[in-house]
Amino acid sequence: MRSNNAGIADNHAPILVTGGAGFIGSNFVLDWLAAGLGPVVNLDKLTYAGNPANLASVEASPDYTFVQGDICDRALVARLLQQHRPRAIVHFAAESHVDRSISGPDAFLRTNIDGTFTLLQAAREYYDALTGSERDGFRFLHVSTDEVYGTLAPDDPAFHEDTPYAPNSPYAASKASSDHLVRAWVHTFGLPAIITNCSNNYGPYQFPEKLIPLMIANARQGKPLPVYGDGQQVRDWLYVIDHCRALRTVLERGRVGETYNVGGGNQRSNLEVVRTLCALLDELVPQSKFRPHIELVQYVTDRPGHDRRYAIDARKLEGELGWRAQESFETGLRKTVEWYLANSGWVENVTSGAYQQWVAQNYSGRKAHATAEAAR
């Protein structure tokens, strides 16, 4: 693939972030602005997982511009590129929840495949018209997932950048498709793009359909903590701010046409995560009438095609660009639990009627098949 590590231009031109009101996107926008790296234009459709309240602290900043819109709207994307002249596009916008992709894959194909195609076409036309340092410094950063690589056996080596793609869910397949599109636009059209594939993120502002915020929200209300299957599915957990810093590093020094895997080096089974969460809640909420929270665990029927293990080999990113995760799983999880406890109003606002309907749809039909006794 092409090799060019000049990095994005060091000027006051903005970056265009897609999906910047979502979990990782909003953390990235906040981190970018806090670091004083220049203006941000945030394009977000504001689906159920996009929340402008995540960015309330910067909405009045002259360096922040929000545009509600769809990445599939090519005319809108082209207009934003011409109006704001960004030095980079950071592409987060995606449907990302495996369970939702099983019950309704259509939205995943539209956003993750068609949306990425539309964005690439607009970026290509914009880039082809650039000259000089603007052209040399422009970057398209495509943020993807480790799920494109499929699943690992317990003793398999971790995913590396040359691991063959083997997606097993509609979500993973749609992200794999988008990765292939980005790669093709580099090779065929010369678009200066870079791909990152990250492990499971956690931290502030994560929508409570994902494991960690779901467990916190349910435990606070004394609701069952649904654990799929035997709970031994292993994931590599990455604190979201570490991920954001990795993305900044890739934008600054990453080589065009390359892929960089981003992992936290924290492999934990889902059951280990839930146990640790319960212990933290016992400690941090000693007055809870639901202590010990581990007794709320309920094993439920596993999701179809549930990948058994993910693990990321991030040595390329660490060796070439000098990035290291700063948070251990224990420190990152404590910060996460403390944030959710301190921001109960945010949780109440996002867990709307539509959210409750989704939870009922996804979990009510899953047969409970064990007690919490085995979780101890």
Which among 44, 147, 236, 258 is annotated as catalytic? 147
Among 44, 70, 146, 209, which one carries the catalytic annotation? Answer: 146
Active-site annotation holds for 161: no
Q: Are 347 and 219 in contact (CB under 8 A)?
A: no
From the candidates 126, 127, 171, 205, which is the catalytic residue? 171
Q: What is the C-alpha to C-alpha distance for residues 90 and 77, in angstroms, rounded to an integer? A: 13
Active site residue 10: no
Is 242 among the catalytic positions?
Answer: no
Q: Is 356 left (phi over 0), alpha (psi -120 to 50) or beta?
A: alpha
Contacts of residue 73, defined as CB under 8 A and 6 or more positions apart, other chains included, come to 118
Residues tagged active-site: 146-147, 171
